[in-house]
């Protein structure tokens, strides 16, 4: 192999290495779970009166506490666990006499909390 070919081949390999590194880095960055610390909550069926909800966990937190309140009055609560990358559905039984009231769902971990609600 000539000198020129060796140098050009080295450059091409370096370029390929950089492309590979960037692709691998991007894969990790796009992975919701790789080194990330966030979670989301949402109603399983947002359009109806069903209050069942889902915790989608992409953090190192495992223990979640949830609390349902009606017009700011606590009604029920519970604890659940969700591992990294898990979508945990919590089924909430149909509540009585809640027409015209704001049903609030507060989900918390030792570090943070989030709320979603429906005005029924």
User: What residue ranges bind another protein (CB under 8 A)?
Assistant: 3-4, 7-8, 10-11, 14-15, 18-27, 29-30, 32, 36-43, 46-47, 56, 58, 102, 112, 114-119
Alpha carbon 65 to its chain's center: 15
**Cβ-based nearer residue to another protein, 42 or 75:** 42
**Cβ-based nearer residue to another protein, 75 or 106:** 106
**Cβ-based nearer residue to another protein, 14 or 81:** 14
- Quote the CA–CA distance of 103 and 53 in Å, as a whole number: 12
């Amino acid at each position: 192999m000539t000198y020129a070919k060796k140098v050009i081949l080295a450059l091409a390999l370096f370029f390929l290495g950089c492309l590979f590194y960037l692709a691998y880095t991007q894969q990790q960055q796009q992975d919701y779970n790789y080194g990330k610390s966030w979670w989301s909550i949402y109603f399983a069926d947002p359009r109806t009166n069903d209050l069942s909800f889902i915790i989608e966990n992409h953090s190192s937190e495992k223990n979640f506490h949830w609390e349902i309140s009606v017009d700011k009055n606590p009604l029920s609560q519970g604890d659940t666990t969700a591992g990294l990358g898990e979508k945990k559905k919590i089924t909430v039984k149909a509540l009585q006499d809640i027409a015209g009231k704001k049903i609030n769902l507060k989900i918390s971990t030792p570090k943070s909390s989030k709320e979603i609600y429906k005005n029924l």
